[in-house]
Structure 1
Amino acid sequence: MSDTTARVRELNLYRQYFDLVAAGAKTIEVRVKYPHLADLAAGDVIRFRIKGTAETCPVEVKRVTEYQGFEALLDGEGPANVNPTATREQQLSNIRTIYPPEKEALGALAIEIELLAASPQKPD
């Protein structure tokens, strides 16, 4: 018998990406395949937070797909799903600014997300 309770993860996002997620415009989150994300699966909940604030935005994980690197991920998922406000080249540059080559070498995760109904949440 398996446990079907959704796991909740908390992950930080920069404001510009948080706003896209909260608006429902960003449907693919890009992450490096760190060990703590290796078991991320459909049905899990991610509570995105802007670092240093109490603002959160919960999403449900619909799918997790692993890629060798960021270029393959953008080609496979479509840049508009990752960030509809930037070109593929801009996104690749931005992602590589966040994650240097040694991090990209761990593998790239495309996390398909869907905004949950009670989103986003700002503190009173």
Structure 2
Amino acid sequence: MSDTTTARRYELNLYRRYFELVAAGRKTIEVRVRYPHLAEMAAGDRIRFRIKGTTETCDVLVKRVTPYADFEALLDSEGPANVNPSSTREQQLANIRSIYPPEKEALGALAIEMELIDV
């Protein structure tokens, strides 16, 4: 676990439908591609999610970051209800792949377990 001197802060955009689930504390796993700028993310870091083009934000504490080969492996291991409690596994896989094309998925997937925090 990182301490406060080494914890990093990230700002990431979210679509409104996912932002609302995070802000309500119902979405506990965020799915991202394993981009280089996220490679160092670890427990203890903080993320400020923003709806692009708005001032709406919510902050979360990163509890765990787990890499996966692809989105299917991530959903199977993490459980679809933790990623999006209002969609089936098949819907989620289609939605994630509509955001991230195959060449992005080929970089690998990250499951970011998070907890909503008050700022």
TM range (shorter): over 0.9
User: Gaps spanning 5+ residues in structure 2: where?
Assistant: none
Answer yes or no: is 1:18 the counterpart of 2:30. Answer: no
User: Which structure's CA Rg is the greater one?
Assistant: 1
Q: Distance in 2 between matches of 1:86 and 1:37?
A: 26
User: In structure 2, what is the equivalent of residue 113 of structure 1?
Assistant: 114
Q: TM-score, normalised by structure 2?
A: 0.95
User: In structure 2, what is the equivalent of residue 43 of structure 1?
Assistant: 44
Query: For each residue in 1:25-71, what CA deviation from the matched residue of structure 2 results, as whole angstroms up to 9, or x when unmatched?
Result: 00000000000000000000000000000110000000000000000
Q: TM-score, normalised by structure 1?
A: 0.91
- Tell me the number of residue pairs that the alignment of Structure 1 and Structure 2 aligns: 117
Query: For each residue in 1:78-113, what CA deviation from the matched residue of structure 2 results, as whole angstroms up to 9, or x when unmatched?
Result: 000000000000000000000000000000000000
User: In structure 2, what is the equivalent of residue 84 of structure 1?
Assistant: 85
Counterpart contact for 2:65–2:112, Cα < 8 Å? yes
Q: Distance in 2 between matches of 1:8 and 1:54?
A: 17
* SS at 2:37 equivalent: helix
User: Gaps spanning 5+ residues in structure 1: where?
Assistant: 119-124
Q: Distance in 1 between matches of 2:23 and 2:39?
A: 25
Moved over 4 A (4+): none
Percent identity, aligned pairs only? Answer: 79
Q: Distance in 1 between matches of 2:4 and 2:57?
A: 24
